[in-house]
A and B are shown apart, each in its own frame.
Chain A
């Protein structure tokens, strides 16, 4: 037992820590317990078939640790048996240590009781190993069996070679935090704390030392422990979740405790059931089902052949048919092609000045130009366009979201819209010089009207006269002074009744112009008679128009007095009706022949 043993022990502790993620205290607790047993070992008498002397047991252990895995079973037993003895004899010594000693004794007994069936025990022991560690750490007063197992397990890791330096026992190390010592050795002397290396130094040392990764600081004893190769191997295995020793088989063959060979009577006397001899009906059914499915091609066992994904889809285009039965496909309009301003190196005049760019900010969002031309000195300096994806997306949205319709493109020459007006030259010949003048009016002529036969013109003037002219000669045939400025003159459209309607002031005069032959004159005279009593009406209300006989003129005339000024008078083309307009937006239509008011 030398350094190796001690290391073994610390390894063990480390393992425990690693495996369980325990706190310091718990780990130390364990060490504390291990310590007394280790100490007791040297005096152990020979219990089982193990070595007779402490040295023997030690050498046994050495053996084990040397050749590691090969004779694991054996050495374990040896160590255990050694420990059994040790525990038994050491109990009196350890009385003072803690209350566990009694349990130790008990467990010993139970173990020795089992010692006849070695194999079995070994199995149980090892299988419990992992668990026992936990048990132990959590509660010291566990069941006796587990306690014993645990002890056995601990013995096999043989940490007990060198007693721990520190004897403070199971106390938190915090208690010694402010002290200069970390505890007491076996003789009761204080163990001084070592000088702490500062971090930088320790780091440098560690960087230099290639073996640093296997060095561990044991806080309990305040020393640095270096792990051996075997120990690291153990740790690795444990980290992987395997048993620490490579030779350990977690799943050994089952050895039946019951010996069938010598048995005289069977366990069960029941005959073998029939179903064990005949083929299963249900299996057959299932198989038949699968077979059928395969035959029918429902289940395909081999992978389908990879057909070429692309082929000559359009063939030779000869037998292609149009999209019959569908609505007409409207292809999307193509995107706008870029102009000079989109160039990476446009002409200088395409680049807006800074002021112009600033002025864009003041514009409405929709008026603002979306693209501001820029200039780059070289092709390679053109950066990625930041809106590339957005614009592509917008295009996609347009393609599937916007309405499509055929729109007639207005590509019209604006000149074609204007109607062709004839040139003035083309309108020739047209009168360009004055041929006749009809002189006689003193005021402005307001209205003229041509007689139906075209021989006469009547003109009404602002000086209050109405004249009739012969068209061809310009001779004035008659003058009537109305007294008021004439608004409108209008010939009756009937050539056999040359009656002139004159609107002046509030009156409309129907003048007999005295033209035409005698029969006509007679007819006219008959017509232009007004029965004063009949038409004026006897009602109280003011009539719209009063028909009066006018005697002021040498010819017969009828005066239609309106209640307002009359602006216009017009004949119906048959000559039976006559309408007058007054500024109150009233159109009055008269039936001339019987002098009746028709509409207001």
Chain B
């Protein structure tokens, strides 16, 4: 009997029965490959790896259950219907049957994806968990040019823009943004919604080039799903803060391409009014009611009058009602830029800052129509400029580079502005997503920031070290622990040194009493030194030897599998260490370049030359 003999009439079992290749799946579903791809993308079906690849290694395998899952979806039928519709339309056109053509055109079969979304993400949290790719994609398309050739329609680009702004407005309004990072690839944002950390990437707001070697139909299918998903998510989020969705925007601001600002105002106005009405029902007291009504009217007024000063109004009706539901982090974020007023220069990339500053509680305006206040406003505390020199300077405000905002946000403290003033090369911008300790290398500026953070915290807390914040922040505790240990080590080292010195002194004294001459003493000293050195040499390798022996012994006793694993781990560690070493070496080299050995430690010179170095580097291709 051959090994894999299956008697006739007996069902297939195992991997053969469970998994099908892609071409088998396509055949089973009776669709074209393109439709199959769309179905897979929309349904979220992905290949699964069988334990044994029955048909060979070069096939893609899908689980049969997945395929049947697709097969039973009404979407498949809908796609077939659309295909026949296309055929009918084409035929009518070819036969010049204008009546039929027009009639058909009004009856295009459509489909919706809401059911699919609910199927894929049965709970809202699931959707939030998977939102990263969705947001990145929508933000990317919001920055892409429409291209007729690739079927990228203007309508969709606009929709993407709209959705992304809605999302940003929600995040800014509820102060849920946590981290921002400007990278070469774009700007990374991280928000925390319902306990889910959502990270997305927005491209720099510049003309993107569409490469040719990309299959846009795949991307557009993904985008189709993502657009729907994000719209429903936005709906739910807006619903949660009692705001109507889709928002109705001030057309004037919209025309000025300030959708984000228009949205945030819409949100402000709406949440306030709804909140007011909510408290109405609860309290029911007369004067309270009056007050709320006035709030409501104010909010409405503000919504109606685009050129009024919304900032001032916002402060007027600042409500403490919903604050208690915010967690500690959100409060932190809300109050970071609390009493600051920003103004953006013309050259500053505006979109990002208009999003970030309000998200952390600041008020912001810009140069252009529709801005809430003008540059000449005396209450502005910071003006963001991104040019080498600033002509006219108001003394009442500080002129900083945009990076200051981002660094403040990531550090959660207001950093000193000295390093970020106009015309200076700003300190390095560090990624907030890296765990420096785990990475093994802490950049210099990270340490500076940590010190500043600690200082800020001490200011806030009257009793340093006993505050509950320390207990809450385990990472900080750990860091402090490390510092403590290092200090302790240093202390013991010192102590030992002192002791040896003391011993030596006692010896000398003893010898003096014995009446030995100085020269003989020196001799003895050297001898004893040599002896002790020898002793140490003997003892140290012995210890090392034993340690090594132990390690080797352990390795020998290990099973082969575990030994291999250990070796792999060690290789990984070595690689990591090599990277860290490279960084350290480069740093040493840079410092050597910057500080010529002759006038070694002239601290005043150092930052400038570092700047020069930075410029030099920047000018490299």
Using a CB–CB cutoff of 8 Å, the interface residues on chain A facing chain B are: 309-314, 317, 320-323, 326-327, 329-332, 334-335, 337-340, 342-354, 371, 373-380, 382-393, 395-397, 399-405, 410, 412, 414, 417-419, 421
- Rounded to whole angstroms, the CA-CA distance of A410 and B564 in the bound complex is 13
B394 within 8 A of A: no
Total chain B interface residues with beta-carbon distance under 8 A: 107
State the CA gap A397–B119 with chains docked (Å): 22
B286 to A: closest C-beta gap in Å: 34
Contact call A340/B434, Cβ cutoff below 8 A? yes
CA distance A401 to B566 in the complex (A): 32
- Provide the bound-state CA to CA distance between A523 and B610, in Å: 100
CA distance A346 to B583 in the complex (A): 12
> Is B10 among interface residues, defined by CB-CB distance under 8 A?
no
CA distance A452 to B403 in the complex (A): 86
Q: Are A313 and B122 in contact (CB under 8 A)?
A: no
| B contact residues around A309 at 8 Å (CB) | 112, 231
List 19 contacting pairs A-B, 8 Å CB cutoff, sorted by A: A312-B236, A313-B118, A314-B118, A323-B122, A329-B120, A335-B133, A343-B431, A345-B426, A347-B445, A348-B613, A378-B401, A380-B349, A384-B209, A385-B184, A388-B208, A390-B213, A400-B41, A403-B48, A417-B566
A393 with B613: in contact, given A380-B386, A382-B204 (CB under 8 Å)?
A: no
B433 A337 Cβ-Cβ under 8 A: yes
- Select which of A349, A403, A412 is within 8 A of B587 by beta carbon: A349
Do the beta carbons of B69 and A399 come within 8 Å of each other? no
Q: Which residues of B contact A332 (CB under 8 A)?
A: 46, 130, 133
Give the residue name and chain of the B residue nearest to A347 (CB). B428
Q: Which residues of B contact A (CB under 8 A)?
A: 37, 40-41, 44, 46-49, 60-61, 63, 65-66, 69, 112, 114, 117-124, 127, 129-130, 132-133, 136-137, 140, 144, 181-186, 188, 199, 203-204, 206-211, 213-215, 218-219, 222, 231-232, 234-236, 239, 245-246, 347-349, 386-387, 401-403, 425-426, 428-431, 433-434, 439, 443-445, 550-551, 553-555, 557-558, 562, 565-566, 569-570, 583-584, 586-587, 590, 610, 613-615, 617-618, 620
Given A317-B124, A349-B586, A392-B136, verify A338-B431 contact (CB < 8 Å). yes
From B117, B185, B439, name the one whose CB has the most chain A CB atoms within 10 angstroms.
B185
Contact present for A375 and B401 (CB under 8 Å)? no
Q: Is the CB of A313 within 8 A of B114?
A: yes
Decide if A382 touches B620 in the complex (CB within 8 Å): no
| Complex interface: chain A residues within 8 A of B439 (CB) | 339
Given contacts A345-B426, A379-B182, A417-B562, are A323 and B403 in contact (CB under 8 A)?
no
Q: Are B63 and A396 in contact (CB under 8 A)?
A: no
* Partner pick for A405 among B48, B204, B208, B214, CB 8 A cutoff: B48
**Cβ–Cβ contact B425 & A310, under 8 A:** no
Nearest CB of B to A405, in Å:
5
Q: A421–B434 Cα gap in the complex (Å)?
A: 37
Query: Closest CB-CB distance, A290 to chain B, in whole Å?
Result: 14
Query: A349 and B590 in contact (CB under 8 A), knowing A323-B122, A389-B214?
Result: yes
Distance (whole angstroms) from the CB of B382 to the closest CB of chain A: 15
Interface centre among B218, B428, B557 (most CB of A within 10 A): B428
Contacts of B63 in A (CB 8 A): 327
**Within the assembled complex, what's the spacing in Å between the Cα atoms of A399 and B130?**
12
Known contacts A377-B425, A388-B185; is-contact A310 B566 (Cβ 8 Å):
no
Q: Is the CB of A339 within 8 A of B245?
A: no
Q: Decide if A310 touches B60 in the complex (CB within 8 Å).
A: no
C-alpha gap A386/B211 in the complex (Å): 9
**Smallest Cβ distance from B563 to chain A, in angstroms?**
8
Rounded to whole angstroms, the CA-CA distance of A596 and B232 in the bound complex is 90
Minimum C-beta distance from A396 to chain B (A): 5
A340-B434, A380-B348, A389-B214 given as contacts; is B123 within 8 A of A314 (CB)?
yes
Task: Give A327 to B63 CA distance when docked, in angstroms.
Answer: 9
Among residues of B, the one whose C-beta sits closest to the C-beta of A312 is B239
Q: Are A383 and B428 interface neighbours, CB within 8 A?
A: no
Instruction: Kindly provide the distance from the CB of B504 to the nearest chain A CB, expressed in whole angstroms.
Output: 33
* CB–CB B433/A348 < 8 A: no
The complex places the Cα of A387 from the Cα of B186 at a distance, in Å, of: 11
Find out whether the CB atom of A393 lies under 8 angstroms from the CB atom of B218: yes
Beyond the given A329-B44, A412-B569, A417-B565, could you list 18 further A-B residue pairs with CB under 8 A, ordered by the A residue number?
A310-B246, A311-B235, A314-B118, A320-B122, A323-B122, A329-B120, A332-B46, A374-B184, A380-B386, A384-B209, A390-B213, A400-B41, A401-B60, A402-B46, A405-B48, A414-B569, A417-B569, A419-B558
Neighbour of A403 across the interface among B47, B137, B431, B558, CB < 8 A: B47
Tell me, in angstroms, the Cα distance from A375 to B401 when the chains sit together: 16
Residue from A329, A331, A340, A421 within 8 A of B430 (CB atoms) = A340
Whole-angstrom CA separation of A584 from B440 in the bound complex: 59
Assess A390 versus B211: contact at CB under 8 Å? Given A375-B618, A400-B41, A421-B553.
yes
Residue ID in chain B nearest A395 by CB atoms: B133
Residues of B within 8 A of A396 (CB): 137, 218-219, 222
With A347-B443, A375-B614, A421-B554 as contacts: A383 and B431 at CB distance below 8 Å:
no
A311 CA / B117 CA spacing, docked (Å): 12
Contacting residues, chain B, for A387 (C-beta < 8 A): 185
A393-B37 contact, Cβ under 8 Å, with A348-B590, A383-B206, A384-B203:
no
Give A396 to B226 CA distance when docked, in angstroms. 12
Query: Contact: A400 with B583, CB < 8 Å?
Result: no
| A320 adjacent to B123 (CB under 8 Å) | yes
Contact call A326/B555, Cβ cutoff below 8 A: no
Q: How far is the CA of A146 from the CA of B562 in the complex (A)?
A: 109
> Nearest 7 A-B pairs (CB), nearest first?
A337-B433, A418-B554, A384-B206, A349-B587, A347-B428, A403-B49, A342-B183
- Say whether, besides A347-B443, A380-B347, A385-B184, A405 and B49 are in contact (CB < 8 Å): yes
Closest to A307 in B: B112
Docked-complex contact B123 and A326, CB < 8 angstroms:
no
Instruction: List the A side residues contacting B218 at CB < 8 Å.
Output: 393, 396-397, 400
Pick the contact of B40: A340, A371, A388, A400 (CB < 8 A): A400
Minimal beta-carbon separation of A337 from chain B (angstroms)? 4
Q: How far is the CB of A512 from chain B (nearest CB, A)?
A: 43
Find chain A residues with CB under 8 A from B47 CB. 401-404
Which residues does chain A contribute within 8 Å of B434, judged by CB atoms?
A: 337, 339-340
Please, which residues of chain B bring their CB within 8 A of the CB of A379?
A: 182, 348-349, 386, 401-403
Q: Kindly identify which residue among B114, B188, B210, B403 contacts A338, using a CB–CB cutoff of 8 Å.
A: B188
| Docked CA distance A404–B63 (Å) | 11
Shortest Cβ gap from B73 to chain A (Å): 12
The answer on a CB contact under 8 Å between B620 and A354 is: yes
Please state if B565 and A412 are interface contacts (CB–CB under 8 Å).
yes
Residue numbers in A under 8 Å from B239 (CB-CB): 312
Give chain B nearest CB distance to A563 CB in angstroms.
39
Chain B residues lying within 8 Å of A345, measured Cβ to Cβ, are 182, 403, 426, 428-429
Which residue, of A329, A373, A376, A400, has the highest number of chain B Cβ atoms within 10 A? A400
A401–B114 CA distance with the chains assembled, in angstroms: 24
CA distance A380 to B614 in the complex (A): 17
Q: Given A326, A330, A371, A418, which contacts B558 in the complex, CB threshold below 8 Å?
A: A418
A414–B387 Cα distance when bound, in Å, is 52
Residues of chain A contacted by B386 (CB below 8 angstroms): 378-380
Assembled-state Cα–Cα distance A177/B192 (Å): 88
A388:B203 contact, CB within 8 angstroms: yes
B9 CB to nearest A CB, Å: 28
- Chain B nearest CB from A567 CB (Å) reads 27
Of A321, A332, A351, A377, the most chain B CB neighbours within 10 A belong to A377
Which interface residue of A313, A339, A342, A377 has the most chain B CB atoms within 10 A?
A313
In the assembled complex, which residues on chain A have CB atoms less than 8 Å from the CB atom of B431? 337-340, 342-343
Q: Kindly report which residue of chain B lies nearest to residue A392, judged by CB atoms.
A: B140
**Cα distance, A340 to B584, chains bound together (Å):** 14
Pairwise interchain contact A337-B65, C-beta atoms closer than 8 A? no
Q: Are B65 and A327 in contact (CB under 8 A)?
A: yes
Residue in A closest to B137 when the chains form the complex, CB atoms = A392
CB-CB < 8 A to B140: which residues of A?
388-389, 392
**A312 and B613: CB pair below 8 A?**
no
User: Quick check: B554 and A386 within 8 Å, CB to CB?
Assistant: no
